[in-house]
A and B are shown apart, each in its own frame.
Chain A
């Protein structure tokens, strides 16, 4: 089942067999998109929403000088732009980080789901509320934490989310982000991120090399990040 990562680790088991089948059968197309490609442009009316099957995408906004600020990173199992279903357009762009595989859902089909499957609809609603919870946490992260805390928080959050969908274990996971990407997700310069990564490595908290993240001391890294995973609403209570 290619949609099997949707809400994995966050109550997917509460979906009935029929609801899982409806979600699977409603996919109208599956696309492979290369790395560093825009898949949704801000302001453009869209009639499909995207479930991320493999790979990573980001939401971002550009400032007047064209400098990019990442406002979210999505991992497999995330419904990337489900809110475009009621809103019809996005107020930000979406692009791939590495190569991705995505499943597309027609908004017309989603409308049918909302009319016939109220429990599944609530689960879809839940997934957009998760996005809102993560946005709140990112506001806190960028507004209150220093450079080390911001970067540490990003790695802690991704570790938690990837563990839920079986793509991280023992603090290790693959992440197709560059130092400039991390800078854009953390309101920092690349120079600053380089310094922070070195500091985290020297403190034996984390290494990030060749796209592999290795968290060496999860508890200490979480302390630097002021990271509490409750806002991710995992099934295990985190």
Chain B
């Protein structure tokens, strides 16, 4: 079973697009607009998830 990734993905600009690479098969290419919006959504979700970690211990 895959486990949540603890290493941040690597984003890069290539030929007018954004590539995002990471472990466990993460490999996606996005337009700049989609990448920027994904970034905003990731930050919002990360802030929520961080709160959840302090409120609810993970299930064993």
Pick from B12, B14, B27, B29: contact of A146, CB below 8 A.
B27
Report the minimal beta-carbon distance from A70 to chain B, rounded to whole angstroms.
16
CB–CB A191/B26 < 8 A: no
- A195 B19 Cβ-Cβ under 8 A: yes
Chain B residues whose CB sits within 8 angstroms of the CB of A143 once the complex forms = 25
Which of chain A's residues have a CB closer than 8 A to the CB of B25? 142-146
- Docked-complex contact A195 and B22, CB < 8 angstroms: no
How far, in angstroms, from A191 to B12 measured CA to CA in the complex? Answer: 11
Taking beta carbons and an 8 Å cutoff, which residues of A are in contact with B? 142-148, 150, 187-189, 191-192, 194-195
Residue positions of B touching A, CB distance < 8 A: 12, 14-15, 17, 19, 21-29
Query: A191–B24 contact, CB under 8 A?
Result: no
Decide if A192 touches B26 in the complex (CB within 8 Å).
no
A194 touches B15 (CB 8 A): yes
Are B15 and A147 in contact (CB-based, < 8 A)? no
User: Could you say which residues of chain B place their CB within 8 Å of the CB of A144?
Assistant: 24-25
Q: Which residues of B contact A189 (CB under 8 A)?
A: 17, 29
CA distance A150 to B27 in the complex (A): 10
Given A142-B25, A144-B25, A191-B14; 6 other pairs, CB 8 A cutoff: A145-B25, A146-B24, A146-B27, A148-B21, A150-B27, A194-B14
Q: Please tell me if the beta carbons of A147 and B14 are within 8 angstroms of each other in the complex.
A: no
CA distance A76 to B15 in the complex (A): 35
Q: Are B26 and A195 in contact (CB under 8 A)?
A: no
Closest chain B residue, CB of each to CB of A187: B27
List the 9 closest pairs (A to B, CB-CB), nearest first.
Answer: A147-B27, A189-B29, A195-B14, A191-B17, A191-B29, A192-B29, A191-B15, A192-B19, A191-B14
B22 neighbours in A (Cβ, 8 Å): 146
Q: What residues of chain B lie closer than 8 Å to A192, measured between beta carbons? A: 14, 19, 27-29
B residues in contact with A188, CB < 8 Å: 27, 29
Report how far A146 CA is from B12 CA in the complex, Å: 14
Contact of B24 with A195 in the complex, beta carbons under 8 Å: no
Chain B: minimal CB distance from A193 (Å): 10
List of B residues within 8 angstroms of A148 by Cβ:
21
B21 neighbours in A (Cβ, 8 Å): 146-148
A142 to B27, CA, bound (A): 10
Which single residue of chain A is at the shortest CB-CB distance from B18? A191
Bound together, the chains give a CA A192 to CA B14 distance in angstroms of 8
Residues of A within 8 A of B27 (CB): 146-147, 150, 187-188, 192
Chain A residue with Cβ nearest B17: A191
